[in-house]
Structure 1
């Protein structure tokens, strides 16, 4: 056993290096940071991925006007068709090089129609020509060869229905974006987009060098993915923390989604300008906001302008700062030329183009607030998920922009010489299909406000009389157009007051034929007839004709002392004009989701409420109103056209009405004051001139009605109203419903 010598020292333990402890601490901190960062990344990944994969945006509902259907025999002129194309922002180009263009030659208009999605599916872009003759469309040829019986234009986009605080955008798919726009965008904003992983150090270095060389900021280092992350998830504050978040979100997006998916999202998200209080997002809406046309029709200079705006939509606003915008646009064009996206000729043409912008807010035809008010009210009553209103649904309406503009023009011009307190409402209806084509809610038609066409309930005066006379004529064994009605003084006790109705001229005629009483709008015979029929019968008649509200009728209601809106009056007369067939008036034709799948289609329910025979007799009398009666001014103004209609004047001249129709269109006009004070106008002197002006400018088609079965032309005694032989003297020749075993009376002495 060996022993240590005395005084020998124990071996000294080796100490840890000086850097060990700091390194160990740093490792622990790094580990904690790693776990924190990993946890945060997992959180970000879950939050960002879920939101990005779902519905990323609230997209406003898009409201469209009707699609103009074209067919041989249609009463349409070449000038009218060209006006429609101009409204749709078609460009006149004899070469017809792309969709959205048209050409004109003698009696032909050739159209390169855009592709669009309609109620019944996708319509591809196509070329067709329309040939005109003196009466309208003669023939339609596809590709100028195949003759067809039908063609149509895409409907006009008239409104984006925004909810409060909702951004405005119009979604586009990547395949809808022109290649030149995609390549130019990547050239200017992110050349390595398809090669980096969401963050590009090379782009940062390239931007730094470019900015140093220029002596100012001319290029950014953020990738498109980083810009997308910032716009969708972060604020615009310039802090290190925000930049870190931006980079992390960009890495996640790039890992989770394809490049094409990210590029499409960027194209739809990026901010491109301000439309008053509403932000304009995405290239789809940007194209319409600045140029009022789809992306596919943009010229190189227009593409360059939109891309140039990305650097600062407010600073380079082309409407406020056109010189700045042109300078920026030309810089982008120069880059496009240098990178061979444009050849020399295209480049020179592009830089020489002036700014051609539509007025702010005019990219939509959103100048029809009263009509859109009716659409929105109807949408609230339609049975579909209302949350879809923020998912980019498409609402197809019956609005006829040409009819709407003419109705507004008529109201504005005809009221210029009136008392400034006089207001107006007008409805234009295709009564055969119960479609509201135009609606004016007041003389200041371009501004939203009280919609008198829908919400003003006013006394209707003699507008009610055809309802009473129709009920009488619906009893052919009892009444005919020649039936004699008493025009003698009458006194009634109504609402605890004595009521003595008077004719307009304060005279009495003894006995008058039923047709004359209606044509000349005589009050006393009408009251007597209504009382003979009974107030419950008149109430039921209003319901059959389409009045949905329950109202209580007093005898004074027989002269129009009931309050209806112009819309309700139009509904009553829709049934009268449409041969007794009732169909609820509507503004909305259909609703589809953003992909074109139908969510709602207007039901085509139609109900026959009166016989064709009794309606024919009533329409005969209403035609006489416009030729020899209270509305004979129509005959003087438009002598070659046959109309039917009825004037209406409420007590003390507070309300002036006229509602009438031609072969296809029903027009209702109301004039009055909001405070219900007298305006001093009858239906003939107030509302009727607006009716005449509208049809004079818009055009009209004469009413054509054929004698129905069981209706014949019969001779009636002008003194007794009894049917007599045609050989008798002093007879009235009137249509009458054939009654079995009807005996002819002897001729008057």
Structure 2
């Protein structure tokens, strides 16, 4: 048994009162909670700041049509220019008070053009007038004073290129937003925006009182910053945790970023409606979605409608519930008037305005799926970072909306009442620049299905013949337009079968001049010529004219028993029409970022594949074909216009083709059935009428070609095809490439 030292005392045990223990525990919990909260705030701050300073949104690529360039001497009518302005949503207004307006007086159209960042830089809004005469544009004056040689309109926005789960929006900068919209927005949504710190207790109390007074929820207490936080970072769940997160994010945003930065983000983020399955975000896109015009051109009633939609884009959808939308708009207008954002005259005028809305989905001119299909395929082949497609880049194309509309109209009207299975494809090309201006992939032009212009490979028939004849004419010492070709029975082996080619009319003519064999599209002389040249030479001709893939040729291929797409045919004829100069056909001109910096520009490589002398002779023969040959219906329909072109009919009448051109435009037309059954149409009875209708409606310019050096008009014997003196009888006067003559020409040559 142990003993204590003398004098030692037992330790005193202190028992704390219960309330001290509680306070101590609560203090420790508070410290732990504070630590967790601080850690979470640090994490949240990092996440929010990183996301807000980086690329906040996936922004779809904007696809533009070509910019209409105007110059004196241009073959354009006043009505055509007005149609272009209407497509751009310009408003006719004699007062001309703001960009986006135009006026018409006798032979003048005056335009207040919008500002736009073109490929060669930004151009401010400006006023100019275009004067017309009987042949087109006579002169252009800026500010109705300075005469200039060039003016242009901004291109039409035709599509937003969306990825499957991407939101649709059009970014705007704060300085681009009208002051009425900014001030009206803050008036309705957050009057104290520039004075609170992201969360406004006063707004919460004010909303609470308004809701209690009304007996229902009529006003929200969230600041504009909180709304932005909810839309950008949180779900729409109505929970206490979400509200706490919303408040903390709002505090972080307000601390880290300026008020203007937050307001600009809000203007671009807010949800304003639904375009079918795609959400419409931001006032920039909202303005186009409802009114098809930029924010800067909105009237007060339109501004008020957009602001009013924030309370409930579905509930106040002006297309579904116009009365609700007008009532909400008028309430916003009244508040604007009471706060002196509008004067009495503006207020009364705005109240009287009906809803002027464009149809849902028509805020873009996105009615050209076949052309856009070609654009998308080309974009995939362009060498730039494809991730940029979701950063709001701008894609400038060569699409001519007027040409596209007419091509679709021609196909639709010309095929009406015909075989329901009959399909069509059409390409309109500026062959001097190798620009695809319009493209039709089927008779249902608005349907984004199988694109026959790009993907249908069909037998081309006599469309191939100019390739053969050009190779012959490229040997001037051996062939000329007057060279005699035998049109008599021929039998040979092709594809392990006996083959006896026949002319269309089943008759033989004996010796015929080369120009007649081509313009009348005679089969037998063509086969003889092709075999004389050799199949490798014809294959090389296809390559030089622009065919990118190798095709196996056999004798029947000399009459078009090879399969090409309408795009490939257009590429061949682009080189033929362009005096032997090849350039790859394209739909995309350039790609820029949001600020106008170029990411891609179409290369300008052009390759001279044939001398101009040879192509001049071929074009002369193709002009003859359109005047007296298989396409003579063209001259009968448009006798004052000179065209060149070639018909094509595949075996058993399965495919009908025509490819031809005027001074500037190449048009390729194909008709056929997807199941490759016979259609009973030749190139002249099927495709050619569509060619004629297009140019009748769109207008055409006669081909003008001057004799190249070393080409002169020569007399040839109509019997032998040999050069003779012009004084001889029974001669053909034809252009020919000069060849050194060893003797004086006489009538016996």
- Give the TM-score normalised by structure 2: 0.98
Deviations along 1:54-74, one digit per CA (max 9) or x if unpaired, are 001000000000000000110
| Residue 165 (1) aligns with residue 171 (2) | no
SS in 2 for 1:723: coil
User: Conserved in 2, the CA contact under 8 Å of 1:729 and 1:748?
Assistant: no
Deviations along 1:112-160, one digit per CA (max 9) or x if unpaired, are 0000111111111111111111111111111111111111000000000
Deviations along 1:466-520, one digit per CA (max 9) or x if unpaired, are 0100011011111100000000100001111100000000000010000000010
| Structure 2: distance between partners of 1:744 and 1:236 | 96
User: Conserved in 2, the CA contact under 8 Å of 1:723 and 1:744?
Assistant: no
Cross-structure match for 1:316? 316
SS in 2 for 1:365: coil
Structure 2, unaligned stretches of length 5 or more? 1-9
Cross-structure match for 1:421? 421
SS in 2 for 1:433: coil
| Residue 562 (1) aligns with residue 566 (2) | no
| Structure 2: distance between partners of 1:23 and 1:243 | 29
Structure 1, unaligned stretches of length 5 or more? 1-9
Cross-structure match for 1:7? none
SS in 2 for 1:503: coil
| Structure 1: distance between partners of 2:345 and 2:495 | 86
| Structure 1: distance between partners of 2:687 and 2:742 | 42
| Residue 488 (1) aligns with residue 488 (2) | yes
Cross-structure match for 1:702? 702
SS in 1 for 2:553: coil
| Structure 1: distance between partners of 2:593 and 2:125 | 21
User: Conserved in 2, the CA contact under 8 Å of 1:393 and 1:591?
Assistant: yes
Change (3 A) 1:13 1:548: closer
Deviations along 1:647-672, one digit per CA (max 9) or x if unpaired, are 00000000000000000000000000
| Structure 2: distance between partners of 1:731 and 1:742 | 21
Cross-structure match for 1:328? 328
| Residue 36 (1) aligns with residue 60 (2) | no
Note the C-alpha offset of 1:34: 0.8
Note the C-alpha offset of 1:175: 0.3
| Residue 579 (1) aligns with residue 548 (2) | no
Note the C-alpha offset of 1:21: 2.1
User: What is the 5 A alignment of 1:497-646?
Assistant: 497-646=497-646
| Structure 2: distance between partners of 1:277 and 1:743 | 80
Cross-structure match for 2:685? 685
Deviations along 1:401-445, one digit per CA (max 9) or x if unpaired, are 000000000000000021010100000000000000000000001
Cross-structure match for 2:3? none
Question: Aligned-residue CA RMSD in angstroms?
Answer: 1.3
Note the C-alpha offset of 1:208: 1.5
| Structure 1: distance between partners of 2:555 and 2:639 | 37
| Residue 472 (1) aligns with residue 472 (2) | yes
| Structure 1: distance between partners of 2:740 and 2:617 | 18
How many residue pairs match? The answer is 740
Cross-structure match for 1:137? 137
Cross-structure match for 2:4? none
User: What is the 5 A alignment of 1:291-302?
Assistant: 291-302=291-302
Deviations along 1:279-309, one digit per CA (max 9) or x if unpaired, are 0000000000000000000000000000000
Deviations along 1:612-671, one digit per CA (max 9) or x if unpaired, are 111110000000000000000011110110000000000000000000000000000000
- Give the TM-score normalised by structure 1: 0.98
| Structure 1: distance between partners of 2:217 and 2:739 | 94
Note the C-alpha offset of 1:725: 1.0
SS in 2 for 1:521: coil
Cross-structure match for 1:279? 279
User: Conserved in 2, the CA contact under 8 Å of 1:487 and 1:511?
Assistant: yes
Deviations along 1:524-571, one digit per CA (max 9) or x if unpaired, are 000000000000000000000000001110010000000000000000
| Structure 1: distance between partners of 2:229 and 2:434 | 49
SS in 2 for 1:724: coil
SS in 1 for 2:359: coil
SS in 1 for 2:324: helix
Cross-structure match for 1:651? 651
| Structure 2: distance between partners of 1:19 and 1:243 | 33
Deviations along 1:146-202, one digit per CA (max 9) or x if unpaired, are 111111000000000000110000000000000000000000000000000000000
SS in 2 for 1:450: coil
Note the C-alpha offset of 1:449: 0.6
Note the C-alpha offset of 1:18: 5.0
User: What is the 5 A alignment of 1:199-210?
Assistant: 199-210=199-210
| Structure 2: distance between partners of 1:636 and 1:657 | 19
